[in-house]
Amino acid sequence: MIRTVLLALDTSTEFCSVALLFADSADSTHPIDFAAAPQYADGDVRVWFCHEATGAVSSTRLLPAVRELFNAAGLELADCAAIAFGAGPGSFTGLRTATGVAQGLAFGLGVPVVPVSTLAACAEAARLNTPALPPRVLVALDARMDEVYWADYTFDPADPKGDWQTLQPASLDAPAALPLPDVPFALAGNAVNAFGDRLPAVVAAAHVDREALPHALPVALIGLRAWGAGKAVAPELAAPDYVRNKVAHADHGRAHAG
């Protein structure tokens, strides 16, 4: 059986989050307490992770944290098969940091990268927190400026090795503008804390997980499945997904077209 070592990085929030995954398979469905000891095991998957509130200095903490995890796991950086990173949306500076470090390490090691949506990572975190989560998950993160980053996902609970299917990719809207799924759904993300009842999905959701936030562990688990499905890309193709910039450019184009 082929064993895989995958490094995952996320600095999309005020946390510096790093995970080192060692796996014989991509099956991971058990609940996890993210506040417990910084190690996770599920069958043939083991993950060591570091998740620290670093604020604006994530860039200085990221590489030391990577070295510490490899030491804790007894592995070498050269053992890596791929590097996953939280591509966004999130803090612009943080997204550039994770992308740049992932790209630099991947170039040096000659391995591919796996961009992972931070919103998909929230959905994965919610599923890890609650095994009986509804298959439909609406993710909403506080984007500041009285807006939310959001996306709509679904998964097949009968297929634990299956991945998230994106029904609506990462978008940016006012809290009240989020469309509600027409089936029972879970709401994940910190927009609940920021906007409360101004977010109609709070009342409509069958389950709310306000603690499901970007974290390198779900980034690693999604990255492993994506890597196994052949979705990794060359390091030079690594790029942040700012989302807010996309909206600004679209609005600018519409203004000139009019």
- Checking if the pLDDT of 41 tops 50, the result is yes
Q: What is the mean pLDDT of residues 83-106?
A: 97
What is the average pLDDT score of the chain?
Answer: 88
Nearest-10 crossing angle of helices 58-73, 92-109: 40
Sheet holding 45-53, edge to edge: 39-42, 45-53, 15-23, 4-10, 82-88, 113-117
217 with 205, same domain? no
Segments forming the whole domain that contains residue 138: 131-209
> Residue 167 has what pLDDT?
97
45 with 147, same domain? no
Smallest Cα–Cα separation from 214: which of 18, 7, 42, 5? 18
109 with 172, same domain? no
> Residue 43 has what pLDDT?
65
**Overall number of domains in the chain:** 2
157 with 195, same domain? yes
Domain assignment present for 198: yes
Q: What is the mean pLDDT of residues 65-71?
A: 96
Q: Which of 17-26, 83-92, 246-255 has the lowest mean pLDDT?
A: 246-255
Residues 148-202 have pLDDT tens digits of 999 999 998 877 667 899 999 999 999 999 999 999 999 999 999 999 999 999 9
Q: Which CATH number belongs to the domain containing residue 199 in this structure? A: 3.30.420.40
90 with 12, same domain? yes
Which one is predicted more confidently, 42 or 58?
58
Sign of CA pseudo-dihedral 103, 109, 113, 119: negative
107 with 36, same domain? yes
Q: What is the mean pLDDT of residues 112-117?
A: 98
pTM for this prediction: 0.88
Rounded distance between C-alpha atoms, residue 176 and residue 196, angstroms: 11
24 with 57, same domain? yes
Angle at 84 between CA 208 and CA 61, to 5 degrees: 90
Q: What is the mean pLDDT of residues 59-85?
A: 95
For residue 185, what are its two tokens? 């759904």
Domain assignment present for 70: yes
Angle at 189 between CA 187 and CA 191, to 5 degrees: 95
For residue 132, what are its two tokens? 């009986």
